[in-house]
């Protein structure tokens, strides 16, 4: 599978400079960071959640865990983690689990952890198991307009968080 044209058109249409980073086949954001030889705090990982209003996308650094309690308090609704089989149909142009952090392209509310928002650049899976894309975080925020909040714990956080 190739990088979704929808994503490439969006980057071009928003005049976002980007770098495609080909790498060996990987299946997690942490594996992608290792394959790309970048620090995990720059690697954006996507966690899909279910709410009564529908699916939402949480985006955080690969060196952190989503804090479900913080997220519930933020949206004031019950949430649950989605399985790959639940969210795969939301991203028909992506290999399962390799969706980019652009919920807006798929009609999904997008929430970003403040730690990722502090980075000068981010790297994310580009819809394939073998490609990532690097862009300036400021360009990402300008184009996606995510809600930025404190959503994450360090990897050593307690069990109510999820990797």
Residue 130 has pLDDT above 70, yes or no: yes
Residue 125 within a domain = yes
Residue 159 within a domain = no
pLDDT, tens digit (0-9, with 9 covering 90-100), for 75-120:
999 999 999 989 999 999 999 999 999 999 999 999 999 999 999 9
Secondary structure (3-state) at 152: strand
pLDDT, tens digit (0-9, with 9 covering 90-100), for 32-70:
666 776 778 899 999 999 999 999 999 999 999 999 999
Residue 24 within a domain = yes
The CATH number assigned to the domain holding 73 equals 3.90.960.10
Residue 37 within a domain = yes
Beta-sheet pairing, 43-51 with 121-125: parallel
Residue 162 within a domain = no
Q: Is the distance from CB of 98 to CB of 44 less than 8 angstroms?
A: no
* Cα–Cα distance measured from residue 102 to residue 89, given in angstroms and rounded to the nearest whole number: 15
Residue numbers of the domain that contains 64: 5-149
Q: Measuring CA to CA, how many Å separate 9 from each of 5, 12, 59?
A: 6, 5, 21
Give me the number of domains the chain comprises.
1
In the block, tokens 């798929």 appear at: 106
């Amino acid at each position: 599978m190739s990088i979704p044209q929808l994503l490439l058109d969006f980057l071009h249409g928003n005049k976002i400079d980007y770098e495609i980073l080909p790498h060996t086949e990987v299946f997690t954001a942490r594996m992608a960071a290792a394959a790309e030889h970048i620090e995990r705090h720059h690697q954006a990982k996507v966690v899909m959640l279910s709410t009564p209003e529908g699916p939402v996308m949480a985006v955080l650094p690969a060196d952190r865990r989503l804090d479900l309690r913080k997220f519930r308090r933020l949206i004031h609704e019950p949430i649950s983690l989605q399985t790959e089989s639940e969210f795969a149909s939301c991203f028909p142009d992506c290999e399962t689990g390799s969706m980019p952090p652009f919920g807006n392209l798929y009609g999904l509310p997008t929430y970003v952890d403040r730690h990722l928002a502090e980075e000068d650049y981010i790297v994310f899976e580009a819809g394939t198991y073998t490609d990532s894309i690097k862009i300036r975080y400021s360009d990402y925020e300008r184009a996606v307009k995510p809600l930025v909040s404190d959503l994450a714990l360090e990897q050593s956080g307690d069990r109510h968080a999820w990797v």
